[in-house]
Every structure is written in C-alpha cells, then in structure tokens.
Structure 1
Amino acid sequence: MASAASPLSEPRVLAHAKRRLFPDDADDGYAVVDTQFSSDQWLANESIDPDITDQLAPFNHVRVGSGYPDLIGVRLLSDELLAVDRLGDDPPLVAVEAKGHTNRSAADVERGIVQAYDRLHEANAAYVAVPADTVSQSARTLARELNVGILGVTPDGTVDPVETPRVVGNRTTTETTAIRFQASAQGVADKSFGLNHPKNYLAYPLAVSHRRETEQVLSEYVVRATDDARTGAAFLNLIDDQSASTRLTPLGREVVRFALREYESVEAALKEFDDWKRSRERFCDLVPKWGMLTRRVVYDYPATQLLVEELQHMHEDGMTEPSLPDVVEYLHELHPSFTIELFVRGDDDVRSRVLNADGELQREPLGDGGIYHSPTVFQLKAMLYHAGILTSRGAEPSNLNPPTDEWALRESI
C-alpha cells in the first residue's frame, strides 16, 4: 500500500497550505478541513499519515458555492498572499482547493482552479494549492482570468504564492456564517466561559467603569477568577479586549447605564453583587430586573436566537422535552456546519466519530458527553437557564449524560 511516501499527495499539499495560511502560532482566525480528509485512507490505495490528519483537524463539511471546499477559514492574510489591499478591516473568508499527485496521475491543477472559482460566490478569496512543479503557464493564465490564487507547494513543505487573488465581496450563507462565527471573539473553538453564572460577566463592564483598578474591584465584590470573567465578558460582547486597554462595547455600556438607573453609583450596584455570591436560585427569579438584562445580553449572543427558534419549532413538532442528541440531530438537518461548530469539540478523533467522510452525522457518538463543547453544553446553557430561557442548567461534559440532558424552552409559544 502506498502511503504518505508519495511526498505531495493531496492531503499533504493541503496540510502545508493550511499551515501557511492559518499557522498554529496565529492568535486570529479559524479554519476547518472537509471531512473527506478525516479518514485514515486516501483514495483506494493510499493511507494518510496520522501527523497529517492532526495538522488538518478540525473537520467539518461546509457547503460553499455548489460544493464543499477542501479548506474554508477566516483570517487576515499577509499582503504577499493578496493581489490588492483587502476590503475593509474584516478578515476575509478564504476557500482552498488542493490537488496532489496520485500513483496514476499528476495533480490536475486546472480542475482545481475551476473548483476554487466556484467558491467565490460566497468566499472573499479562493486558492488552489498544488505541487509547485505542476503549475504551467496556461494554468497561471486561467487563474488570473478567474481571480484564483495559486499556492505552489514543494516537497520540503515550502508554500509560495504563484498567483495572488483579489479580495472580493460575497453573499453570506448560514454555512459560511458558522466559520465566521468560530473566528470571532464569540466562537466556542478553543475557548471557554470558565464561569457558569451570568452575574460574573455582567459585573465586568461595571468594574471597568469603576474608578479603581478593574480586577481589584471585581475580586472584591464579585469573583476572584477575574481572567475567566474577562474572557466571558468578551465572549458575550460586553467588552472589547483586543486592544491594549479594555473598552466597553455598546452592549457593555448599556449594562452600565442600567446599573446607574437602578442604583446611586456603580459601586452601589457592585455591592449588591456581593450579596448574590453562592446563591443557587435562578438569577431571573432572584433579581428579576437583572434577569431581564441577562436575557437581553445572552439573546445578543449569535447562537442564542438560532437555538431558541429551533427549540420552538421542535416544540411545535411535538418534541416538548428534547434531549441534547435530539437537538443536535434536529439542528444538523437545518444548519449542519453551525451545529457541529457550536456543539462538537474540534479534536480530529471527535469530529471523525461524529461525522463520517461524507459529512453525514452519526447518531451513536452523540450519547457520549465527552464529544461536546463545554462552553455550549455547560456555561452557555447555564446562562440560558439563569436568564429564564431554558428549563434546566448545563453540566460539564465529564458529568453529562446526553440522553437525559433536557433542552426545552421555559416558555414555549
């Protein structure tokens, strides 16, 4: 059996291209590779080196244009990878098709260019990644005409732009939105709320606006895990922590305005937070006004509205007390990429269990709590519970029994 000994098979070409466009040491960006590469077998007689599989993970099956690109991701690219200045400040959605050598033929570069071009209906930039020695002049001409970049890959893993594309505008779909979501500060990839009570995050904008040092105030009145509180506040779009100094977002400023309307000062509001420590009561019942504010904040989170709307539809379809696997299976039919990104951990072994090589959802693994993103099934669910949206609070994946984990609306219409 031939293996990765064929130095520039398609999986290997794609792994090198991914490392070039989405390096592991980059703080920004997010990318997924199509599920066809999650198998340990490539074509009929080629295996995929496990190290290559690790480099390609995470996997998802994301429709872009009329097909499924080999790689789709969001990241600000260096100038040498683009033909002109990028459009605006938002990172582009990048689609990549890869072609490599097989035992029977050389890489089909021109076919890859045409496939990449199809992705420009919804992507901002498209590339074909190929062995550098297969790029002909006619292929370069075709790529320029179709505005497709060519990444030339050498056997030692060097990746150089042979042709660079222009960034274009596009239309956004639910599927591509899932990748933009994961690349944002609100995405759940490699992140966690850390704390499961919304008061810890609502207090952060108050602490930022306090005259004393933020972490000192937060530790005194609310919670000692100030780093987790800061991460969660950014996660919920209450603060912008990307710059040197923390700034309140419009939503964060609204939290401060609410506190000043209800209390004499920010400090007076924070002192009341001290009284709520260790309370097990649902937050919206303990302090209804703060509960309503919590509801507004969590409803602003990109995934909440989708969850609420689809849980309502499940209720209308007679599924009044759906379990976690029920919800994932139902959502996957309607929003496949978003569902996987929101609920399922990005580990290659987890994604390859949940999705087969054709991107089809496998029901059996959904009964294992270990496959789920903690930020969704524990912290986010707990906040939806405290906001009065869901009937039950979340649980850590290690303590989760998915078939009995209920996801039902507290008030269904």
Structure 2
Amino acid sequence: MTAAAGSMTEPHVLAHAKRRLFPDDEDRRGYAVVDTQFGQERWIADEPIDPAIRETLAPFNHIRVGTGYPDLVGVRTLDDEWLAADRLGDDPPLVAIEAKGRTEGGRVDVERGVVQAYDRLHEANAAYVAAPTPAISQSARTLASELNVGVLGVDADGVVEPIERPRVVGNCTTSETDAIRFQASAQGVADRSFSLNHPKNYLAYPLAVYHRQDTESVVAQRVVGAVEGARQGAEFLDLVDVTPTRTELTPLGREVVRFALREYGSADAALDAFDDWKGSRRRFCDAAPRWGQLARRVVYAYPATQLLVEEIQHMHEDGVETPTLVELVTYLHELHPSLTVELFVRGTDDVRSRVLGPDGELRTEPLSTGETYHSPTVFQLKAMLYHAGILTDRGAEPSNLDPETDVWALRDPV
C-alpha cells in the first residue's frame, strides 16, 4: 500500500465516495446522509477531521439498515458504471455504503466492510464497501462478488473507481429507510420545498397551468410575484409534475381545477378570487371556507402532515394539549428518530453535530435555539397547517422562533 493511500482514514474515503455517487446536481434528485459518528471533530487519536471533509459528509443522521448503521445511506439514480444490471422499476435505488480506511493499527479491514455491506441488503437495493484501492485484495473482491456487494476503490487524489459492481435487488422498507426515500422524493423536505407560507399561492398554480395564457405570467400578475416559489410548493404538494420540458397537472392538481370550475365557472373567475386575497392576514379557512377545506385536503395529503397530526393527537390523548416545539421534537424522536431529524433539524454539519451524538442520541439543549430548526417545516409548513385549519398557531422564521413557547397544537383534537 502506498503511503498516500495508507494515510486515508474512513472520513476521507467516504467523502470521496459520496462526491462521486451523490454529487450535487439538480438534474437527478438524490439525497444521502452520513452516520452521526462522522460528525465528531476527531477520528483517530488527536487527528482532527478536516472541516471541508465534514462539510462534504453532512448532513448527518443515524439510520438503521439491516442490523446496523451504514456509514452512508442515500437514494439516487446511479449511472450504469456503478451497477452490474439495470435497476428495478423506475424508482431510484436505496444505496448503503460502508467505508474502510486507516485505523490506529494501520490496518484496512476491507473484508469486514464487505460483510457489513452484505447485511444492509436486507433493506437496501445496492450495497458497497469503499476503501483505498491498494488495500483491496483479490480475496476481498471474490467475497464481495459472491455476496453481491459492490467495491469502490478510492485513490488519495479522490478518484473513485468501481472494482466490483453489484446487482440491484428488491428489499423490504422500514420507517428508517422510508425517511431517506421521502427526502429524496419530490415531496422531501428541502430548502427548495416551501418558500411561501400561504396555501393559496400553491392552490392557484394548477389554475395557472390550466389557463390558456402563459403560466408564469398568470401567477405573477394574479397570484404572487414569487413565481418560482409557487411552482416549487405546488410540486412538493403533488399538484403539478415538473419536467425539464413541461409542467403537467397531477391527479390532485386536476381535482383543484375541477373544484374551481365547479365553484366559479371558469379559471379566470377563480383567479379573480385569488387576487382578492392578496395581502390578507385572515386564516384562509375562515376567509374562504370552501377553498380552506380543499387546502386542508391538499396539505393533509403531504406525508409529513399525516405523521404530525397523528402524533400531536397522541400527545393530546396523553395530556399534553399544547405541546411546544421542543416537546414535539423530543416526543417524535423517540418514535420516528430518522424522519424527525430530517423534518425538523437543519442539515448543516454544525447543527446536526450539536443535536445528535455519535450514536444518534438526541441532545435536547440545542433544541431550545431557533437556528437549530429547518425553516420550511417550522415556518412555511406550519403556516400552511394553520391556514388550512389544522394547527392553532402560525409558523415563525427560525431567527424569530422561541422553541420553548412555540405551540404545535391541533385546532380540533379528537
């Protein structure tokens, strides 16, 4: 093994592998998290982890796949060079990666990584071990081939090559892996999801798509100036399907149009009503009750809403009638740890490292600080749940948020 290759620890190996298999691109949706153990400042003895490496590895979460916690879990459509056969169906595969690098004893245990990766195939579609190329022996390659585990050779300069390519397999899903699949989907919670805090802006977008005039012009002139925000939110609420060449109505989006035509007779007449609501501070379900009921249906169809409503209802049944944000997140993390982190906690390495310990344990002290939280959830999504008549209180920007007094209560608990 060369000195340069031998100097690579697991964080370095994993960072190179993540850059290659999960690059930052908008053309092909994907999402990956790295295990919380990599969020620590040091890896071997007194050797600090380069901040640039930690930034590459972020966001961190503790996702159980199989009987353990892979170093990386992600969902993305992979290029043919990484796989031995075509993927199953149209959905991108869930991928697990185990990284092996220099330990304090100087050994790189690639074969152990192969066995660990094989365990992940109970719930992952493809599993890999990533290691310094000179450390990958023929015996490790043979074992990986027999177990259908991919092998990624990593050079010190960051070049990653597929030495063994796995076949994509079917799997079972769990609430843990579902959290990552959700994040990688068009409805996952991301910084590009909800930028507007009123559901009217998203409900109007299908009408603009249906309208005979240019969609963007109709939205800008008659609904809201933030056209891109309206489009993104409509997509995340599954009202429109956006492709590089066109935007089409989904079944739910078509139902919004049908409702508008039934109520108003034409798209133009319906859009006139939206123009009247510009700048209104009234709760939408009170200002426009029938539209409010439709908004409730649309927002409730968003998967995160269903989880929140059910668990807040359970808290109410347990006597916690007006849970604060801190109480809600603490409660949810006990039941749905992975999804709770993805839904509420910002994905930057510094925030996740403060909130989660090396083994994924939740540290409650950082939950009292507004900057810990993901704005699309605590501001925009919560505001929409308020306007739809589901929650009692509006959302707030993290900079203006007091998590210990911010109430997440149902307007109509059962």
1:166-177 equivalent positions in 2, closer than 5 A = 166-177=167-178
- Describe the superposition over 1:342-392 as per-residue Cα deviations: whole angstroms up to 9, x where unpaired: 001100000001101111101010011111111000000001001110000
Q: Which amino acid aligns with 1:307?
A: L
Cα drift, residue 47 of structure 1: 2.3
Counterparts of residues 94-133 of structure 1 (less than 5 Å): 94-133=95-134
Deviations 1:214-268 (A, max 9, x none): 1111122211111111111111111111231111111111100111111111111
Alignment of 1:201-212 (within 5 A): 201-212=202-213
Equivalences for 1:1-400 in 2 at 5 Å?
A: 7-25=7-25, 27=27, 28-400=29-401
Shift of 1:190: 2.9
Q: Which amino acid aligns with 2:401?
A: L
What is the Cα deviation at residue 141 of structure 1? 1.2
Alignment partners' CA distance in 2, 1:349 and 1:316: 36
Work out the CA distance in 1 between the residues paired with 2:336 and 2:7. Answer: 37
SS in 2 for 1:170: coil
Task: Give the structure-1-normalised TM-score.
Answer: 0.97
Q: Secondary structure in 2 aligned to 1:404? A: coil
Deviation at 1:5, TM superposition (A): 10
Q: How large is the RMSD of aligned CA atoms in angstroms?
A: 1.3
Displacement of 1:91 in angstroms is 0.6
What amino acid does structure 2 have at the position aligned with 1:390?
L
C-alpha distance 125-151 of structure 1, shift in aligned 2 (>3 A): same
Secondary structure of the corresponding residue to residue 11 of structure 1: helix
* Alpha-carbon contact 1:132-1:153 (below 8 Å) kept: yes
Contact kept, 8 Å, 1:192 with 1:374, in 2: the verdict is no
- Alpha-carbon offset, residue 46 of structure 1: 3.1
CA shift digits 1:45-75 (9 cap, x unpaired): 4321111111111100011111100000000
In structure 2, how many angstroms separate the alpha carbons of the residues matched to 1:317 and 1:55?
A: 41
| AA partner of residue 236 (structure 1) | L
Provide closer, same or farther for how the CA distance between residues 127 and 121 of structure 1 changes in structure 2, counting only shifts above 3 A. same
Shift, 1:281, TM fit? 1.1
2:196 touches 2:380 (CA, 8 Å); kept in 1? yes
Answer with 192-201 or 30-39: which moved more. Answer: 192-201
Query: How far apart are the structure 2 equivalents of 1:118 and 1:376?
Result: 34
Q: Name the aligned partner's letter for residue 12 of structure 2.
A: R
> 1: distance between equivalents of 2:180 and 2:60?
12
Instruction: Kindly indicate whether the alpha-carbon contact (under 8 Å) linking 1:205 and 1:239 is maintained by their aligned counterparts in 2.
Output: yes
CA distance in 2, matches of 1:189, 1:14: 23
Is the contact made by 1:29 and 1:74 (CA closer than 8 Å) also made in structure 2? yes
Mean alpha-carbon deviation: is it higher for 190-199 or for 316-325? 190-199
SS at match of 2:98: strand
Contact 1:95–1:123 at 8 Å: present in 2 too? yes
**In structure 1, what is the Cα distance between the partners aligned to 2:25 and 2:377?**
25
> Kindly, what percent of the aligned residue pairs are identical?
72
Q: For the residues of structure 2 that align with 1:388 and 1:103, how far apart are their CA atoms? A: 57
The answer (yes or no) to whether the contact 1:206–1:256 under 8 Å persists in 2 is yes
On the 8 A contact 1:189/1:345 being kept in 2, the answer is no
Paired residue secondary structure (1:224): coil
Q: For the Cα contact (< 8 Å) 1:189–1:346, is it kept in 2?
A: no
Please list the CA deviations of residues 199-225 of structure 1 after superposition, one character each: whole Å capped at 9, or x if unmatched.
Answer: 000000000000111111112221111
Question: In structure 2, how many angstroms separate the alpha carbons of the residues matched to 1:337 and 1:280?
Answer: 35
Partners of 1:345 and 1:366 in 2: CA distance:
11
- 42-51 vs 99-108, greater mean Cα deviation: 42-51
Give the CA deviation at 1:26: 5.2
**What amino acid maps onto 2:98 in structure 1?**
E
Question: Does 234-243 or 198-207 show the bigger shift?
Answer: 234-243
Equivalent residue pairs, number = 410
- Contact 1:6–1:102 (CA<8 Å) still a contact in 2? no
Q: Structure 1 residues 191-200 or 24-33, which shifts more?
A: 24-33
Q: Answer yes or no: is the 8 Å Cα contact 2:191–2:376 preserved in 1.
A: no
Gapped regions of structure 1 (runs ≥ 5): none
Q: Following TM superposition, by how much is the alpha carbon of 1:137 offset from its aligned partner in structure 2, in angstroms?
A: 1.4
Distance 1:321 1:86 in 2: 46
1:26–1:280 distance in 2 versus 1, CA, 3 Å: closer
Q: Secondary structure at the match of 2:404?
A: helix
CA contact (8 A) 1:9 1:101 kept: yes
CA contact (8 A) 2:187 2:236 kept: yes
The more displaced of 40-49 and 336-345 is 40-49
CA distance in 2: counterparts of 1:243 and 1:303, whole angstroms: 26
Distance 1:281 1:190, change over 3 A: closer
Distance 2:301 2:218 in 1: 26
Q: Is the 8 A contact 2:206 2:240 kept in 1?
A: yes
